[in-house]
Amino acid sequence: MKTIPFFISAFFLPLLWVSLAFSWEPTGEGLVFNGKTAYASPFEGVKVEPQNFSVCTWVKMEKECESQIFLTLGNIPQDWTLYAYKGRVRMLVQYDREGSYTHANAEMPELHRWVHIAGTCDGKQIKLYYDGKKVAQAPLNRSMSRFTAERVKLGSANDFVRNLVGSLEDVRVYDRALTADEIRDLADGKTDAESLKNGLVGLWDSAHVKDGVPVNQANAQIQTVKADPYDSNLLNQKDDGFRSIWYFNQAIGGEYVYKYSGGLGTYPANHYPFSVYRPEVNKTFFCFGGTDHDGKTLLHEVSYFDHATGKVARPTIILDKKTTDAHDNPVMTMDDAGYIWVFSTSHGTGRPSYVSRSANPYDISKFLPVPATKIENGQEVPMTNFSYVQVFNVPKKGMFVFFTTYDKRVLNDPSTRAQRILSFMKSPDGTHWSEWKPIAGMAVGHYQNAAVWQKGETLKMGSAYNYHPYDPEHGRVGLNYRTNLYYMETLDEGATWQTIDRKPLETPQIDPHSAALVYDYESEGKNVYIMDLIYDENGFPVIFYITSKDWRSGPDGDPREWFTCAWNGSDWEIHKITESDNNYDFGSLYIGNDGVWRMIGTDGTGPQAYNTGGEVSLWVSRDHGKTWTKERQMTENSPINHCYPRRPIDAHPDFYAFWADGHGRQPSEANLYFSNIRGDVFRLPRVIPEGEEMVLPEKQ
């Protein structure tokens, strides 16, 4: 037996002691998360103050994903989250109600081994620890005034986005910032230390599980629940009236205050449809972005207009989207059997999206969550996030959706700058969806408007879109400089794509000079805002859009010109209809069986000049869009601007356009309206008398 020299043992023994002292790790499997599992606990059971808290857990990750949640309050990037993201671990804290956030982050630890991870916030600094050692910190610019979410989640974000594949153990939440020594004790397994009982408001581990659910030992009266991966928090409550969400985007200061704003319950242009007429029951069903009486949250609501009685139904609140962002507004379709499908969209990847379906055909009283899945890498995975949805049900064929994804990976080009990628998917039943197929990802991205045309055995689907340039040399980068006009279509349900004159197109389109280019507005320095796409009786596309010289509100962008660009069988014909005073004024285009083209829109000016919307008018063309005549001024002397009149699917003459109003320069009440084909306007009641389920709208 060899002896170790004293000086060597004296040098290495302390290091060996240190190593052994911090080599503790959990035994057993811990709380196992398989990519679908998650747990939730009401926030009152783990209540902490924004300026002072800690979250700690042992983590063993079994798979590297783009993002995996360990512990969170809210939807990223709201409130706080401890999670793995793109090869790093973050302790994220939101620090104002506008959604600003910061985070401390460090390199991802090894897979398949336990590591103790802790994050603290003391109102000034966010700190991140691995195995008791601080590995990162970041200053907190300013503290939040309150948290907003209602549940703490283990193993996923709300709701079932970014699920963990791995295990957690000894998961803790404190209502104070732990010291470095206390975090070292936790990493060393010294969980019985008296100081670690102070401020402990959440504690879950594998040793205390009841009926398959970990018990919160810090507050056993508040029960943890195992959340269903398709639990979309459906409310199915009756509302007491019709109220639109008020929303603004991008404060610009000055007289006009916002880039765009107002009552945006039927916004944006890239959502469609908000209403569907079904002759089987002689009703127009519609959805909208509603709100509570204080305007503090976005509610997804559904109602219908009964053409036989002339009454509207008391709306059903399907869910609370827990935001005021009107980009999260719902859209709807109806399947062959009459079931109502609602797609609860999200603006980007920060919030979850949902699909729900009426429990019974033609019935708005109850909606059920739909466990929608998509194909990804050959596997079925939950479909929990989608943006800017346009959904079309085609009889006997299923549903087809044009939408936007924010995942650059679908382009298979690591150098891409595209942030908004135009995509397409389809489903035979609304539940099982195809792989998401990217169709365009030029420069910084796109906005699109889609349409479907069917005649006999011919099914045509098309997309009209602009693009966001990347031209830093001339200061034109991103969505505020959207420009150009493109069109592409498919005749085989998305398998292949082509130009209007049947030249094949490779997808995704990544060249701004693609053969899909209809008109080069970039060379003229003009922005393009697409409002609508519709097919005429021959199946020829007609694109409806606004051009502008500037992205801001105000006269610098004048003239805002409204055009149709229509294919005549051999060429694109561009004709001007009218002008307005804001880039986000809006109109819908109608092509009737009588050959008459109609447009209902907020052209001209309005009560808040140079802000979004205005007065609503009806324009008519009897020569395929070559010349237009204003047939009726539908609203006059309104106190606030009307915004985003929308065309229903198979519009009935008595419910022909649907929209909201709202003040252009300050938050306000926002009402909902519809009109008939003649231009008569009706307001939906803000308050419905108690006990009444059907009420007459108020003629304006």
Dump strand ranges (E) for 292-351: 298-306, 311-313, 316-320, 330-334, 340-344
The whole-number pLDDT of residue 5 equals 39
**d(Cα 384, Cα 229) in Å, to the nearest integer?**
9
Inform me whether the pLDDT recorded for 9 exceeds 60. no
Task: Tell me the per-residue pLDDT of 328-362, one tens digit each, with 9 for 90 and over.
Answer: 999 999 999 999 999 999 998 878 899 999 999 99
Do 338 and 215 have their domain in common?
A: no
Inform me whether the pLDDT recorded for 253 exceeds 50. yes
- Does 2 fall in a domain? no
- Does 585 fall in a domain? yes
**d(Cα 260, Cα 114) in Å, to the nearest integer?**
49
State mean pLDDT over 524-528: 97
The winner for highest mean pLDDT among 137-141, 213-217, 367-371, 564-568 is 564-568
* Phi, psi dihedrals of residue 15, rounded to the nearest 5°: -65, -40
- Does 677 fall in a domain? yes
Number of Cα atoms under 13 Å in the Cβ half of residue 371? 6
Do 101 and 203 have their domain in common?
A: yes
The whole-number pLDDT of residue 44 equals 74
Beta bridge partners of 547: 528, 561
Q: Which of 178, 207, 226 is the last residue of a domain?
A: 226
**DSSP, residue by residue, 215-238:** --TT-TTS--EE--TT------EE
| Domain extent at residue 119 | 23-226
* DSSP character at residue 295: S
Q: Any idea which of 21-30, 395-404, 515-524, 653-662 has the lowest mean pLDDT? A: 21-30
**d(Cα 466, Cα 443) in Å, to the nearest integer?**
11
Inform me whether the pLDDT recorded for 564 exceeds 90. yes
Question: Comparing C-alpha atoms, which of 466, 468, 464, 465 is closest to residue 481?
Answer: 468
Do 199 and 245 have their domain in common?
A: no
Q: Any idea which of 69-78, 111-120, 188-197, 479-488 has the lowest mean pLDDT? A: 69-78
Do 461 and 496 have their domain in common?
A: yes
**d(Cα 270, Cα 257) in Å, to the nearest integer?**
24
Q: Which residues contact 557 (CB under 8 A, 6 or more apart)?
A: 527, 548, 549, 550, 551, 583
- Token pair listed for 669: 């009440």
- Does 9 fall in a domain? no
Task: Tell me the per-residue pLDDT of 501-511, one tens digit each, with 9 for 90 and over.
Answer: 999 999 999 99
In whole numbers, what is the pLDDT of the chain averaged over residues?
91
- Does 481 fall in a domain? yes
Q: Report the sign of the C-alpha dihedral through residues 124, 252, 270, 338, in that order.
A: positive
Q: Any idea which of 228-237, 238-247, 407-416 has the lowest mean pLDDT? A: 228-237
The whole-number pLDDT of residue 78 equals 77
Contact 133, 21 (CB under 8 A): no
Do 197 and 244 have their domain in common?
A: no
Contact 70, 85 (CB under 8 A): no
The whole-number pLDDT of residue 20 equals 38
CATH classification at residue 464: 2.130.10.120
- Does 468 fall in a domain? yes
- Does 4 fall in a domain? no
Q: Which of 205, 226, 247 is the last residue of a domain?
A: 226
The count of domains in the chain is 2
Q: Which residues contact 225 (CB under 8 A, 6 or more apart)?
A: 39, 40, 41, 213
The residue assigned the tokens 């004159």 is 501
The whole-number pLDDT of residue 75 equals 67
The whole-number pLDDT of residue 555 equals 97
Task: Tell me the per-residue pLDDT of 76-113, one tens digit each, with 9 for 90 and over.
Answer: 677 899 999 989 999 999 876 555 788 999 999 999 99
Inform me whether the pLDDT recorded for 60 exceeds 60. yes
Do 507 and 542 have their domain in common?
A: yes
**d(Cα 518, Cα 523) in Å, to the nearest integer?**
13
* Phi, psi dihedrals of residue 8, rounded to the nearest 5°: -70, -45
Do 337 and 409 have their domain in common?
A: yes
* Phi, psi dihedrals of residue 213, rounded to the nearest 5°: -125, 130
The whole-number pLDDT of residue 6 equals 36
Inform me whether the pLDDT recorded for 22 exceeds 70. no
**d(Cα 122, Cα 129) in Å, to the nearest integer?**
14
**d(Cα 155, Cα 69) in Å, to the nearest integer?**
5
**d(Cα 262, Cα 297) in Å, to the nearest integer?**
15
- Token pair listed for 668: 């306000």
**d(Cα 74, Cα 359) in Å, to the nearest integer?**
29
**d(Cα 581, Cα 5) in Å, to the nearest integer?**
88
State mean pLDDT over 44-63: 89
Give the number of other CB atoms < 10 A from CB of residue 28: 11
**d(Cα 453, Cα 647) in Å, to the nearest integer?**
15
- Residue 620 host element (H or E): strand 617-621
SS3 state of residue 203: strand
State mean pLDDT over 295-301: 96
The whole-number pLDDT of residue 414 equals 76
Do 141 and 271 have their domain in common?
A: no
Q: Who has greater pLDDT, 414 or 651?
A: 651
Q: Which of 195, 226, 257 is the last residue of a domain?
A: 226
Contact 407, 374 (CB under 8 A): no
161 CB-contact burial (10 Å; exposed 0-12 / middle 13-18 / buried 19+): buried
**d(Cα 414, Cα 423) in Å, to the nearest integer?**
18
State mean pLDDT over 106-121: 96
201 CB-contact burial (10 Å; exposed 0-12 / middle 13-18 / buried 19+): buried
Question: Comparing C-alpha atoms, which of 606, 602, 605, 607 is closest to residue 618?
Answer: 602
- Does 44 fall in a domain? yes
Do 278 and 410 have their domain in common?
A: yes
Inform me whether the pLDDT recorded for 179 exceeds 80. yes
CATH classification at residue 47: 2.60.120.200
pTM over 0.85: no
Q: 77: cis peptide before it, omega within 30°?
A: yes
State mean pLDDT over 12-37: 67
Do 186 and 246 have their domain in common?
A: no
Do 207 and 262 have their domain in common?
A: no
The whole-number pLDDT of residue 16 equals 35
Q: 14: pLDDT confidence band, cut at 50, 70 and 90?
A: very low
Give the number of other CB atoms < 10 A from CB of residue 317: 18
Do 260 and 191 have their domain in common?
A: no
Task: Tell me the per-residue pLDDT of 461-472, one tens digit each, with 9 for 90 and over.
Answer: 999 999 999 999
Contact 152, 57 (CB under 8 A): no
* DSSP character at residue 658: E
**d(Cα 515, Cα 135) in Å, to the nearest integer?**
51
Q: 371: pLDDT confidence band, cut at 50, 70 and 90?
A: confident
Inform me whether the pLDDT recorded for 436 exceeds 50. yes
